[in-house]
Amino acid sequence: MDFGDTQEEAQFRAEARAWIAAEAPTYLTDSLTKSGFGGVKTGDFDPMVEAKLWQRKKADAGWACIQWPVEFGGRGASPMQSVIWNQEEGIYGKLSGSFIIGQGMCAPTLMAYASEANKARYLPKLASAEEVWCQLFSEPQSGSDLAGLRTRAERDGEDWVINGQKIWTSGAHHSDFGILITRTDPEVPKHRGLTMFFLDMKSKGVVIKPIKQANGESGFNEVYFDDVRIPDTQRLGEVGGGWQVSLTTLMNERLAIGGGIATGFPEIKELVDGLALASGRAIENPAVRSKLADWYAKSAGLKNTSARAMTALSKGEMPGPENSIGKLVAGGMMQDIAKFALDLQGLGGVIVDPQLAAHSARLQAMLLRSPAVRIEGGTDQILRNIIAERVLGLPEELRADKGIPFSKIPSGN
Amino acid sequence: MNFDFSQDEKMLRDQVARFLSDQCSSKTVRSVLEGKAAYATEVWDGLVDMGLTGTAIPESYGGVGAGYLSLCLVAEQLGAFLAPTPFSSSVYLATEALLLFGSEAQKDHWLPKLAAGEAVGTLAVVEAVAQTTAEAIELRFSAGQLTGKKLIVADGGISDFAIVLARNPAGGLGLYLCDLQAGGVVKTAVDTVDPSRNSTSLEFNGCPAELLGTEADGWAQLATVYDRAAVLFAFEQLGGAQSALNMAVDYAKQRFAFGRPIGSFQGLKHMMADMYVALKLAESNCYYAAWALSTNSPDLPLAAATARVSATQAFQLCARDNIQVHGGMGFTWEFDCHLYYRRSNYLTLQLGGLTEWEDKLVSSLASGEAAA
Ligand SMILES: Cc1cc2nc3c(=O)[nH]c(=O)nc-3n(C[C@H](O)[C@H](O)[C@H](O)COP(=O)(O)OP(=O)(O)OC[C@H]3O[C@@H](n4cnc5c(N)ncnc54)[C@H](O)[C@@H]3O)c2cc1C
Ligand SMILES: Cc1cc2nc3c(=O)[nH]c(=O)nc-3n(C[C@H](O)[C@H](O)[C@H](O)COP(=O)(O)OP(=O)(O)OC[C@H]3O[C@@H](n4cnc5c(N)ncnc54)[C@H](O)[C@@H]3O)c2cc1C
């Protein structure tokens, strides 16, 4: 067991550090430090423009998506080098938040299922964020029950014709492409009638409508498909094999989200360090100390769990489903932290004006954004089901839809 | 970075697991629980034969010198099988105190005996039904003798010597090594929530003892011993938590109610998923603490407190909810659920409870450690 860098790791770290020191957008340091929950804050600058600039700069110098093969715009780096890069990139990494879905989830799916020609055409531009991608999975009737989706794809010559609706599509409004899961056969059991595609978001018949979120921002959208044509060359995997393909995406979703996940611990620690309560210094209050200890132990546990996953990866082993604990722990914890942080500040705790509130109102933003963490990318309940069934081997849920053709499944309306 | 145990360390763990699964069934645990034996002598002898009591003792003192990473994995297995032996008192506490603070003569005399299992040691600290503070220690050391009482000492009834926290004539606290065989100590068994561990009060009536370490630094020395031992206790807790979770999962797969296995009810599934989450967090924190212990990292106080807090939470949760999964059967003497429940609560308190370790964790954080 060894937590230090090996000689090669140290050398790689030094190289990354030097490049970042020379090239990072230091004019954004202050705003980036203060942002964290919900949209990234870049002060007077446009966040998407800044994000693309930084990504492009990284790509040109070989520091984008460093684990990808060089021919697809990466660096062919090891998992451990990728961890080191993320540590060194630090707050500037926040800029790439809008690219996580494309680079962390769509790209691995393309690598596994796209034709060589399509990989060569799309992956390098995905790495440099010249083109941004989104994930068109959830529908009004099927979120947790993803395989219950209804968007239809029907074959017509060399094309497929798409009709239906997706919802909660993060970033659809600034995306160039998306991966889309559809139903191609409603007369077989639900998991068997699905097919995956990717499409140009500017295709004729695609309509994107932003949804205003509970926290006031608009990160996700409704996406409508009205006779949208997709060439068969943009199919990913077999016809009827869409479920298999989606598992690749979802597994990578857990890795992409699970690794360096935010927990809110640094924010609550910073708050209580300087805070006075009616009873005296917050950091000396027993209730505060007890909660801080619990939260630190959890966030350290997550950090150490992902370090173990990295060790497994670097030995060529696949990290196990235990990585589903990341978002499950972090989501609830963030919500608890935010609630507690406000509670320590009297009525003033409700203020969201960054000029008036403590720490630029980051904890208030956390309060309003954290409910979504427990829903997006698999709800807390779905994650517990996964742990119970896949990890502990407990018996499956009794299901009302097992073995029945999709068209005969009760839908409640 | 390489965050994993080596093949040799894992082989040792598997060897200990095989031995314990042969020799340390719940029947063995129950023989101590029900007062038929003070500890499981055959298990203890087997552990000694395997050289495990000397795992972290250097070869120059008769040990194996296999180091702390190995010892952590041994502790995990002892916890998993609820081994009713004085291993933790003798190895994590007495041996550590001697290694850290013993004079050459003390080490030469005691360490080979500890390694060979010829002597069993323990640490005697607690005097009252309250959290222990430096101010509250009354037991006195003067003119080479100890006088006063320790209310509860783990394995006190089966130890050959004790390292005793006592107040010296100058008013400071020191650690004093007292040969319990020499006479003058009254040992009285104490009933606790976990009778599968020996607990004894020790009354010293002018017993000869000698200083371990420095006269005025007893309290700080104790804290150092506790930080190191906390990692090993956390591994025992981790092992216990894993066993309790396994027991719950196995039962939930077999037991039927309402025409289906109870493990298919989401109420129970989610409860066991939460047990698993607590276990994994604790496991990762324990691994990090093992590294900190084995390298004497400056991070040790924080890493140890972190491992201790999460391992305590995990074992308590797993032991508690294992009973719940078992329904009425979980509340019988016959089923083993209560063995884990009892042990989890005993281990929690053994170095000071969760509240005290939470407090230590935050103090180490405040002293400038990096935030996670
Ligand atoms: C901020 C945000 C961003 C998102 N971004 C995207 C995106 O980019 N692309 C995309 O495709 N989707 C996206 N989603 C959608 C997200 O994946 C779904 O919201 C999520 O999977 C839950 O589905 P649902 O909303 O339909 O809720 P439902 O599935 O209807 O769930 C409602 C409640 O029922 C519970 N429930 C459902 N099934 C079970 C079960 N079997 N056992 C126990 N409880 C159950 C759920 O846990 C939940 O509490 C996003 C969501 C959010 C909030
Ligand atoms: C101290 C004590 C006194 C008792 N006194 C009496 C008495 O006087 N008279 C009498 O008749 N009985 C008595 N009982 C029995 C008691 O009613 C049962 O133990 C209880 O109903 C649980 O049944 P079980 O033990 O068979 O557990 P099981 O039914 O096997 O339950 C095991 C676990 O599965 C869970 N589970 C079972 N079904 C479901 C479900 N549908 N959804 C979610 N979870 C589920 C349970 O909550 C439990 O966690 C007593 C029990 C105890 C412990």
Of chain A residues 366-385, which have a CB less than 8 A from chain B? 381, 383-385
Q: What is the mean pLDDT of residues B9-25?
A: 98
Residue B134, domain extent: 121-217
- Contact call for B281 and A329, based on CB within 8 A: yes
Which sequence positions of A are flagged as catalytic? 253
Residue-wise pLDDT tens digits, A19-73: 999 999 999 999 998 876 777 888 889 999 999 999 999 999 999 999 999 999 9
- Pair B343, B249 in one domain: yes
Give ligand 1 pocket residues (Cβ under 6 A): A 101, 134-135, 137-138, 143-144, 168-170, 220, 372, 375-379, 381-382, 385
The candidate with the shortest Cα–Cα distance to B132, out of B162, B153, B107, is B153
pLDDT digits (tens, 9 = 90+) for B196-230: 999 999 999 999 999 999 999 999 999 999 999 99
Residue of B nearest to A381 (CA): B270
Give the residue among A251, A237, A139, A250 at the shortest CA–CA distance from A197.
Answer: A237
Q: What is the mean pLDDT of chain A?
A: 93
**Confidence (pLDDT) at B371:** 43
Residues B205 and B231 both lie in one domain:
no
* Within-domain flag for B100: no
In a domain, B99, yes or no: no
For ligand 2, the distance from its centroid to the CA atom of residue B311, given in whole angstroms, is: 29
B104 touches chain A (CB under 8 A): no
Distances (CA, A) of B372 to A269, A301, B339: 10, 9, 35
Tell me which ligand sits closest to the C-alpha of residue A246.
Answer: 1
B93 lies in a domain? Answer: no
* Residue at B52 is within a domain: yes
Q: Pick left, alpha or beta for residue A388 (phi over 0 → left; psi -120 to 50 → alpha; otherwise beta).
A: alpha
Condensed to tens digits (0 to 9), the pLDDT of residues B281-295 reads 999 999 999 999 999
Rounded (5°) CA angle A205-A217-A57: 80
The CA–CA distances, whole Å, from B42 to A25, B19, B84, B155 equal 67, 11, 10, 16
- Domain contains B259: yes
Domains along chain A with CATH numbers: 7-127 (1.10.540.10), 133-241 (2.40.110.10), 259-378 (1.20.140.10)
Taking only the tens place, the pLDDT of each residue in B313-337 is: 999 999 999 999 999 999 999 999 9
pLDDT at A36: 67
**Which residue from A266, A302, A381 is facing B371, i.e. has the nearest CB?**
A266
**B357 with B228, same domain?**
yes
Q: Cα–Cα distance between A155 and B34 in angstroms, integer?
A: 74
What's the number of domains chain B is made of? 3
Same domain for B143 and B65:
no
Contact assignment for B5 to A385 by CB distance below 8 Å: no
**Inter-residue long-range contacts of A17-25, CB under 8 Å, 24+ positions, other chains counted:** A17/A88, A19/A61, A19/A63, A20/A88, A20/A89, A20/A90, A20/A92, A23/A57, A23/A61, A24/A54, A24/A92, A25/A50, A25/A53, A25/A54, A25/A92, A25/A95
Same domain, B237 and B311: yes
pLDDT one-digit tens code per residue, B230-245: 999 999 999 999 999 9
Residue B260 C-alpha, separation from nearest chain A C-alpha, in angstroms: 9
Over chain A (413 residues), the average pLDDT of each successive run of 10 is 90 97 96 80 92 97 96 93 91 92 95 97 98 98 96 98 98 97 97 98 98 93 98 98 93 62 92 96 97 98 88 78 84 97 97 93 95 94 95 91 90 76
Q: How far apart are CA A64 and CA A51, in angstroms?
A: 12
pLDDT of B131 reads 97
% of chain B beyond a pLDDT of 90: 97
Atom index in ligand 2 nearest the CA of residue B324 equals 49
Do the Cβ atoms of A308 and B313 come within 8 Å? no
pLDDT at B372: 45
**End-of-domain residue from the set B217, B237, B254:** B217
Note which residues in 295-354 of chain A have CB less than 8 A from chain B: 296-305, 307-308, 310-312, 315, 322, 325, 328-329
- Asked, for residue B97, whether it belongs to a domain, the answer is no
Q: Which whole-number Å values give the CA distances from A369 to A271, A306, A343, A372, A374, in the listed order?
A: 18, 24, 17, 6, 10
3-state helix, strand, coil in chain A (%, to 5): 55, 15, 30
Determine how many CB atoms are found less than 10 A away from the CB of residue A72: 18
Domain C-terminal end among B187, B217, B247: B217
Q: Which of B256, B285, B295 to probe by mutation at the A interface, max A CB count within 10 Å? A: B285
- Give distance in angstroms: CA of B328 to centre of ligand 2: 5
Q: Give yes or no: residues B245 and B358 share one domain.
A: yes
- Facing A293 at nearest CB: one of B264, B294, B362: B362
Q: Determine contact: B277 vs chain A, CB below 8 A.
A: yes
Give the distance (Å) from ligand 1 centre to CA of residue A249. Answer: 16
Say which CATH number the domain at B146 has.
2.40.110.10
Q: Which of residues 2-31 of B touch A (CB under 8 A)?
A: 2-6
Which of B268, B274, B334, B335 is the pocket-test mutation for ligand 2 (most atoms within 8 Å of CB)? B268
Residues B238 and B194 reside in one and the same domain: no
d(CA B308, CA B299): 14
- Residue B26: CATH number of its domain: 1.10.540.10
Is residue B79 domain-shared with residue B149, that is, in the same domain? no
How many pairs of residues across A and B have Cβ atoms under 8 Å apart?
Answer: 166
Mutate which of B255, B281, B312 to test chain A, going by most A C-beta atoms within 10 A?
A: B281
Q: Is B330 found in the same domain as B249? A: yes
- In the prediction, which pLDDT does A322 show? 67
Q: Backbone phi, then psi, for A75, in 5-degree steps?
A: -125, -5
Residues in chain B within 8 Å Cβ distance of A82: none
Q: Would you say the C-alpha torsion A157, A158, A160, A161 has a positive or negative sign?
A: negative
B250 and B208 co-located in one domain: no
pLDDT of residue A251: 80
Best residue in A3, A296, A299 for a mutation probing chain B (most B CBs within 10 Å): A296
At B55-88, the pLDDT tens digits run 999 999 999 999 999 999 999 999 999 999 999 9
Query: Which chain B residue is nearest to residue A274, measuring alpha carbons?
Result: B366
| Residue B254 touches chain A, beta carbons under 8 Å | no
pLDDT-derived band at B182, boundaries 50, 70, 90: confident
> B372 vs A80: CB contact, 8 Å cut-off?
no
Query: How close B282 comes to chain A (CA, Å)?
Result: 7
pLDDT at B226: 98
Rounded Cα gap, residues B310 and A302, in angstroms = 12
Q: Whose CA is nearest to atom 18 of ligand 2?
A: B328
Residues B177, B134, single domain; the answer is yes
**Among chain A residues, CA nearest to B245:** A392
Choosing from B80, B115, B150, the residue where a domain stops is B115
Give the single-character DSSP code of A204.
Answer: T
Backbone angles phi, psi at A198, to 5 degrees: -125, 155
Confidence at residue B92, expressed as pLDDT on a 0 to 100 scale? 98
CATH number of residue B337's parent domain = 1.20.140.10
Same domain assignment for residues B352 and B272 = yes
**Domain assignment present for B1:** no
- Residue A157 CA to ligand 1 center (angstroms) comes to 35
Neighboring chain B residues of A9 at a CB cutoff of 8 Å = 1
Q: Is A196 on the interface with B (CB under 8 A)?
A: no
Residue B2 maps to a domain: no
Beta bridge partners of A332: none
The separation between CA A371 and the C-alpha centre of its own chain, rounded to angstroms, equals 15
Ligand 2 is surrounded, with C-beta below 6 A, by: B 255, 257-258, 262, 265, 267-268, 324-325, 327-329, 331
